[in-house]
Every structure is written in structure tokens, then in C-alpha cells.
Amino acid sequence: MNHYIRFSPSDSMVDLVNYDFNIIPLLSRFSLPLGYKQNTIGDVCQQAGIDVNAFLLIIHYVLGGVNDENLRKNVKASDIVKFLANSHEYFLSYKFPHIRQNLLLALDDNQSMINPSIIEFFDEFVAKVKRHFRYEERHLFPYIIALEKGEPTTYDIDTFVKQHDDVSTPLSELKNIILRYYATSVPNKMYDVLVDIYNCEADIQSHADIEDDILVPIVTSMIS
């Protein structure tokens, strides 16, 4: 097992980031403002309108692989939905356009045969993720909010579990093309994009894992 340190609301936010900088993409997905000063995790979450238990639950899960049942009992499904909806916006409005722009800059004119398919694969991936996100925003999220408010619902969590698929496949194909066939005399930019693509793939996977392993159990416990 790992030696993950459990952070609490009274720990320093800067200490948390210094402990494991892999938290940075998560902080982005929370849209947490920088400028932490001496503030604790609790202070920063409160100022940003984020439930600190929801924050810690997600942090422990992503950084330490710990899915804390006791913490989960104290977290509202709507707070996880808020994080997930914010993450959708982050991927679609910021992360994907950023990677696409860098991908265009990394293309080598000498690879004019392959270049169009590289952009096509990337756009196909974004379109697939967008459809996946929109489905959750139209069906899953409103269902959970209604359930929490005790309002009538027309969707159910089993339907979500059955259809929740893996969206990162086109990214694997894109990485394969670049790694196997993209000989370029100026590779530095393309190496940078590859790092972005690998990180993005891991972030999308972690997003899906939070839906499956944190959100679904919370909703299941609400209806049982």
C-alpha cells in the first residue's frame, strides 16, 4: 500500500500542493482560485463555495486511492455533481481547445499526408467526450438534483451504470499514430503535446472513476 498522508480541513493548502503536485489538474477541475496565502484547505474551500468534505473525498480518492466511506456519508451528491459539471466545462472550454491549439502548432509541413488525420482523431475524441458529457448533464445530473430535493424523477442510476462507457479510446489511436509514424525534424513541440495528451487521458479516466466509484455509491445509498 502507499504512504498517502490524509489531509484535513485545518492543513495548509500550499502544503497539500507541495506534497503531491499531481493535485494541480484536480484543483483546475475545481476551478479553485490561486493566491492561497497561509490559508487552510478549509478556508480555501469555503471562500470558493466548495464543500470541504467533498473536496477531501475526491482528493483522497485521486491522490491516495482511498475511497473513504465515512467521509462519503457526509457528502451530498449535489456537491459531487457540482464538481463533475465544473470539470465538464473545464475540459470542453479550456483543456481541449488548449491541446488542439498546441497540436496545430506542433504539426510539421513535411507530414502533410498524416496531419489531417491527426486533427481528425483529436476532433473525433472531443466530439465523443462532448456527447458523453451532454448526456450526463441532460439525464444524470438533473436526476440526482431532483432525487436530493425529493422531487419526482424519470431516470435511474442503473441505466447510467449500464451505459457509462470509456471515452478515451480515440486518444489512444491518436497517441499511436504520433508515436509510431510521426517522424518530425522539430519534435519538441510534439513531445509537449504528447505529455498534454497523456495527462488529459488520465484526467478523463479519473473523472469517470469519480462518477463510478464516488457518485454512484452516494446515489445508491440515497435510494436504498
Which residues are near Fe ion by CB under 5 A?
136, 208, 211
Q: Considering beta carbons, is residue 16 or 147 the nearer one to Fe ion?
A: 147
What is the nearest approach in angstroms of Fe ion to the Cβ of residue 20? 23
Other Cβ atoms closer than 10 A to 205: 13
What is the nearest approach in angstroms of Fe ion to the Cβ of residue 165? 8
Q: Considering beta carbons, is residue 139 or 189 the nearer one to Fe ion?
A: 139
Distance CA 133, CA 96 (A): 13
Distance CA 87, CA 81 (A): 10
What is the nearest approach in angstroms of Fe ion to the Cβ of residue 84? 5
What is the nearest approach in angstroms of Fe ion to the Cβ of residue 95? 13
Q: Considering beta carbons, is residue 41 or 167 the nearer one to Fe ion?
A: 167
Cα 84 to Cα 6, 29, 90, 138, distances in angstroms: 22, 8, 10, 13
Q: Considering beta carbons, is residue 136 or 203 the nearer one to Fe ion?
A: 136
Distance CA 76, CA 44 (A): 19
Distance CA 201, CA 143 (A): 27
